[in-house]
Amino acid sequence: KFYIEANSPEVKSICERIAALDPTLEGYSNAKNELKKQLPIITPHAFMFRGNGMRTNENAVPSGLGMLDVDGVSDPKSAYIYNILPFVKANNIYFVAITPSGRGLRLIFELKDGETIAEGQERIAKLCGIYQYDISTKDLARASYMMPMKYILYINDDMFDENKLHAVPIVP
């Protein structure tokens, strides 16, 4: 399902429209958020949601993964190549992509035993020389908006293998 969404013309079109918005204009955040709401989401911190299936922290079954969201990156591809790529495999970083705005990076990584999401974010950020990141993305129910395949800089399919980790679900 992940690859179907990543290759979807609709996802590509929405992300292109988001990236075309001028962040200096009034109303930018509202326009960006309205477009993002049209994108499917993944929930990297939660494998599934118990009970009624509502996406809440109380219903979340932890996936063992953490997500680091870095905004305001002027050249995401270069930042990936020089700051993140050297650490990907040795540190179980499973996914690196440019965010739907085209101005940020999203990393999904394996948490160490006993490590909280916030501790994992801090560890990966320090490792990659990232000094500012979205610290609010630490709850289990946190959603991450889908991006087109061309935005994905690195992906390890172990992220989807329930025998290795809990698979990352896609929510339309």
Q: What SS3 string covers the chain?
A: CHHHHHCCHHHHHHHHHHHHCCCCCCCHHHHHHHHHCCCCEECCCEEEECCCCCCCCCCEEECCEEEEEEECCCCHHHHHHHHHHHHCHHHCEEEEEECCCCCEEEEEEECCCCCCHHHHHHHHHHHCCCCCCCCCCCCCCCCEECCCHHHEEEECHHHHCCCCCCCCCEEC
Residue 164 pLDDT grade (very low, low, confident, very high; cuts 50, 70, 90):
low
Give the per-residue pLDDT at 165. Answer: 54
* Angstrom distance (rounded) from CA 107 to CA 48: 20
pLDDT at 166 over 70: no
Tell me if 96 sits within 8 A of 80, measured CB to CB: yes
**What pTM did the predictor assign?**
0.91
What is the mean pLDDT of the segment spanning 101-120?
Answer: 94
Give the per-residue pLDDT at 171. Answer: 56
pLDDT in tens, 6-50: 999 999 999 999 999 999 999 999 999 999 999 999 999 998 888
